[in-house]
């Protein structure tokens, strides 16, 4: 890792140059309540001062909600082709827990078998992170996901009159060298960076006591009353999955054009909260009730990938808490498990 | 570049046999002979089959893994893909990905042991890959008993193979039906009823089970009554699958994925996974 400092005065020029030379994606105000990562061609549209989270999460750039896996044409023979062609892009203004979300997806989509649709885009994405104060529903500190150690090319931290820049890759260093006027970070810069990080970590309002959940989950699993309480108001709408930076489930469907010659396989995001998720041909449903689906979702987020990758798949961004119509709160439910087992 | 995990290889349906009113056996061979030659599956593995324009679904391979000039699927017309597959004619082209699944029937481990096979309904289909393999190398195994339960006599699959096994004196076969017709002279009732009759020594026996989800709990109960060992009982699980390669996540049970870690698991592996069976 290289550590650099970018003067506040040259920040705008640095971004303007990137916007001019690259497809530049950053947070944009969508409406009164929400921000979204969108392509930006005018720096004035960029708005990094968002208080809540971006909806949808940045994963949509690498893993769009609908995506063609394969095209085919049926004649005498069946000819198949793929087109995952992606251009170079810069993703700017993604915060630390969301970078950790991308890190999870990088790991997931390369585990055992490479997911080429994902990595064709990932290889061409430059990630420039930016620290920001946690939103009200962000509990990433409790999960150790509030800080991104890697997964970015550059990561900026605003120290009022300058930016502390962590350089995570050669690509990031090249961009910095070419487009920005930076100097090496010194003792004072590290001191201020530490101050910022301490203040930042003290700013988390929502906390989840995740200790022992790995074991407690096994006890609570069979507690029907508990899950009935937790899932009581769930509409099985799947909003939590749609806004999640690490949810990866998808369905694949085949579609034909009207001429019945050309067709395609398309994948689209699915949600484990939807009743059809566990339905198989013949009508048997392996996950017929919402209580079961919710506890499986929590398992996937908080336990499964401890076993598989040694980490939570939840990064604590708090989007699902914001999005849930029934006000289901994963952080509070983590605490509720502890309370149920301890008291 | 690595092979794209979502692109199937083209294959041709070379023969179709109607075995019951609702089930057909498809002999399939890859169009590219090199692909066919390198298609080495293990008993219990499955493929993802695409009917172009309709969709893709997982099917366990039903044929003997020792034959690599073609492979066989036995399919009940019950979902959109399987119904479309039933409408295809010999010569039609389909897409095949696979074989998939690290969890396979314990065809190696079971050597020099007794083998008890319990099949319910369509569950006989995945087991056929193991059974045909085992019959080829019969001398490698000790006593073999097959228990097969079907809903009614008309639903019985692989009748020719069953009568062949019956004709051999080194295999014991018990077929039972839930709803007998006038001509039925065999056993009546669910297949779990026959397990108490098995007189194999628990520590010397591998049990292999495949059937509808509802069956497993009861079969396991019967096997446990006989003190069969958890690490010598193997079950093939069904789940919804979209990708077959561990990405779509629909088949997860606990931290396992049926497509990657299964579809065959030992009872020991499933013991601590909630809702696996």
DSSP string, B188-228: ES-GGGGGGG----GGGEEEEEE--HHHHHHHHHHHHHTT-
pLDDT for position A194: 98
A300 Cβ under 8 Å from any chain B Cβ: yes
Asked if B164 has any chain A CB less than 8 Å from its own CB, the reply is no
For residue range A187-206, list pLDDT tens digits in order.
Answer: 999 999 999 999 999 999 99
Residue A210: Cβ within 10 Å count:
21
pLDDT at B46 over 90: yes
Structure token pair of residue B235:
């079950």
Contact B5 A115 (CB under 8 A): yes
**Nearest-Cα residue of chain A relative to residue B76:** A282
- B166: closest CA among B148, B184, B140? B148
The angle formed by the CA atoms of residues A153, A154 and A159, to the nearest 5 degrees, is 165
* Chain mean position to CA A162: 27
Q: Do residues A294 and A225 touch, judged by C-beta distance below 8 A? A: no
In chain B, whose CA is at the least distance from the CA of A266?
Answer: B55
Residues of A in contact with B249 (CB under 8 A): 248-249, 272, 300
Q: How confident is the model at residue B271 (pLDDT cuts 50, 70, 90)?
A: confident
* Residue A56: cis peptide before it, omega within 30 degrees of 0: yes
Is A116 in Cβ contact with B53 (below 8 Å)?
A: no
Please judge whether B243 and A286 are an interchain contact, meaning their C-beta atoms are less than 8 angstroms apart: no
pLDDT digits (tens, 9 = 90+) for A201-248: 999 999 999 999 999 999 999 999 999 999 999 999 999 999 999 999
Q: How far apart are CA B130 and CA A247, in angstroms?
A: 37
Instruction: Name which of B63, B14, B9 is nearest B36 in CA terms.
Output: B9
- Taking CB atoms and an 8 Å limit, are A109 and B243 in contact across chains? no
The pLDDT value given to residue B34:
95
For an interface test with A, the pick among B22, B30, B52 (most A C-beta atoms closer than 10 Å) comes out as B52
Q: What is the pLDDT of residue B274?
A: 83
- Indicate if the pLDDT at residue B69 is higher than 70: yes
CATH superfamily of B9-100: Translation factors (2.40.30.10)
Q: What is the mean pLDDT of residues B113-135?
A: 97
Best CA proximity match to A320, nearest among A26, A65, A57: A57
- 3-state secondary structure at position A153: coil
Q: How many CB pairs under 8 A join A and B?
A: 116
Ranges of chain A with pLDDT below 50: none
Pick A114's closest partner by Cβ from B2, B82, B275: B2
Question: In the predicted model, what is the mean pLDDT of chain B?
Answer: 95
Which of the four pLDDT bands, split at 50, 70 and 90, describes residue B3? confident
Sorted by where each begins, the domain ranges of chain B are 9-100, 114-233
Structure ipTM: 0.91
Any idea which of A283-287, B40-44, B192-196, B270-274 has the lowest mean pLDDT?
B270-274
Residue B224's nearest CA partner among B167, B277, B273, B175 is B277
- Helices A213-220 and A330-342, packing angle to 10 deg: 80
Closest CA to A303 of A100, A97, A143, A102: A143
Closest CA to B105 of B225, B264, B215: B264
Mean local confidence (pLDDT), B228-247: 95
Strand order in the sheet with B71-76: B55-60, B46-51, B93-100, B9-18, B23-30, B71-76
Interface test with chain A among B10, B255, B272, B273, by most A beta carbons within 10 Å:
B255
What b/e string do you get for A253-272 counting C-beta neighbours within 10 Å, with b at 16 or more?
Answer: ebeeeeeeebbbbbbebbbb
β strands within chain A, DSSP E: 2-7, 23-29, 35-39, 66-74, 78-81, 89-94, 125-130, 154-158, 162-167, 182-184, 250-256, 262-269
DSSP state of A313: S
Q: Where are the domains of chain A?
A: 2-62+86-202, 213-260+269-342
Check CB contact of A268 with chain B, cutoff 8 Å: no
Number of residues written out for chain B: 277
The predicted pLDDT at position A282 comes to 87
Cα of B210 vs its chain's centroid, Å: 6
The minimum CA-CA distance between B54 and chain A, rounded to whole Å, is 5
Q: What is the pLDDT of residue B2?
A: 63
Residue percentage of chain A with pLDDT more than 90: 92
Torsions phi, psi of B243, nearest 5? -115, -35
B 190-229 residues with CB < 8 A to A: 212-213
Smallest CA–CA distance, residue B65 to chain A, in Å, is 24
CA distance B125 to B211: 9
B158-213, pLDDT tens digit by residue?
999 999 999 999 999 999 999 999 999 999 999 999 999 999 999 999 999 999 99
CA–CA distances in Å: residue A327 to residues A282, A320, A323:
35, 9, 8
CB of A1 within 8 Å of any CB in chain B? no
Nearest to B255 among A113, A284, A308 (CB): A308
A262, A230 contact by CB (below 8 A) = no
Rounded CA-CA distance A222/B76 in Å is 35
Interchain contact, B255 vs A307, CB within 8 Å:
yes
Select from A259, A275, A276, A255 the least CA-distant residue to A267.
A255
Quick one: fold of B114-233? Rossmann fold (3.40.50)
Intrachain domains B9-100 and B114-233 with the same fold = no
């Amino acid at each position: 890792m290289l550590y650099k400092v970018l003067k506040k005065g040259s920040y705008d020029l640095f971004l303007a140059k990137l916007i001019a030379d690259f497809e530049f994606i950053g947070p944009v105000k969508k409406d009164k309540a929400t921000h979204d990562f969108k392509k930006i061609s005018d720096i004035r549209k960029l708005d990094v001062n968002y208080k809540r989270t971006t909806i949808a999460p940045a994963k949509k750039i690498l893993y769009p909600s609908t995506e063609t896996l394969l095209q085919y044409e049926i004649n005498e023979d069946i000819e198949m082709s793929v087109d995952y062609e992606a251009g170079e892009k810069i993703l700017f203004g993604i915060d630390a827990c969301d970078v950790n979300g991308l890190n999870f997806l990088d790991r997931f989509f390369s585990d055992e078998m490479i997911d080429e649709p994902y990595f064709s885009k990932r290889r061409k994405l430059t990630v420039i992170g930016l620290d920001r104060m946690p939103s009200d529903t962000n509990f990433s500190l409790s999960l150790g996901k509030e800080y991104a150690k890697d997964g970015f090319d550059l990561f900026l931290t605003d120290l009022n009159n300058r930016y502390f820049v962590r350089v995570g890759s050669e690509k990031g260093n090249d961009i910095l060298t070419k487009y920005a006027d930076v100097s090496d970070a010194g003792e004072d810069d590290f001191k201020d960076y530490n101050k910022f990080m301490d203040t930042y970590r003290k700013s988390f309002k929502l906390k989840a006591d995740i200790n022992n959940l790995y074991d407690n989950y096994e006890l609570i699993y069979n507690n029907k009353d508990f899950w009935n309480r937790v899932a009581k108001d769930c509409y099985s709408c799947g909003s939590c999955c749609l806004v999640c930076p690490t949810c990866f489930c998808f369905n694949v469907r085949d579609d034909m054009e009207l001429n019945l010659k050309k067709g395609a396989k398309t994948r689209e995001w699915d949600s484990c909260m939807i009743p059809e998720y566990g339905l198989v041909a013949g009508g048997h449903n392996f996950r017929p009730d919402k209580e079961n689906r919710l506890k499986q979702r929590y398992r996937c987020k908080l336990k499964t990938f401890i076993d598989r990758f040694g980490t939570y798949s939840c990064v604590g961004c708090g989007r699902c808490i914001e999005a849930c119509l029934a006000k289901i709160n994963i952080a509070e439910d983590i605490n509720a498990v502890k309370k149920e087992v301890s008291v | 570049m690595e092979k794209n995990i979502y692109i199937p290889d083209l294959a041709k349906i070379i023969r179709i046999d109607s075995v019951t009113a609702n089930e057909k056996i498809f002999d399939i061979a890859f169009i590219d002979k090199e692909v066919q030659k390198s298609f080495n599956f293990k008993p219990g593995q499955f493929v993802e089959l695409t009917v172009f324009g309709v969709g893709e679904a997982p099917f366990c391979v039903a044929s003997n893994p020792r034959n690599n000039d073609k492979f066989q699927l036995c399919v009940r017309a019950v979902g959109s893909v399987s119904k479309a597959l039933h409408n295809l004619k010999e010569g039609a082209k389909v897409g095949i990905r696979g074989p998939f699944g690290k969890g396979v029937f314990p065809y190696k481990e079971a050597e020099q042991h007794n083998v008890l096979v319990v099949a319910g309904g369509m569950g006989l289909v995945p087991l056929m890959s193991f059974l045909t393999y085992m019959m080829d190398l019969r001398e490698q195994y000790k006593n073999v008993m097959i228990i097969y339960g079907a809903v009614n006599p008309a639903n019985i699959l692989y009748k020719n193979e069953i009568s062949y096994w019956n004709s051999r004196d080194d295999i014991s076969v018990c077929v039972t039906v839930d709803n007998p017709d006038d001509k039925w002279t065999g056993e009546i009732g669910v297949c779990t009823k026959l397990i108490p009759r098995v007189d194999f020594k628990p520590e010397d026996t591998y049990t292999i089970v495949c059937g509808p989800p509802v069956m497993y709990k009861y079969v396991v109960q019967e096997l446990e009554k006989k003190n069969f060992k958890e690490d010598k009982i193997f079950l093939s699980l069904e789940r919804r699958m979209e990708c077959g390669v561990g990405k779509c996540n629909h088949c997860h049970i606990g931290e396992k994925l049926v497509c990657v870690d299964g579809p065959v698991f030992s009872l020991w592996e499933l013991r601590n996974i909630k809702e696996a069976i």
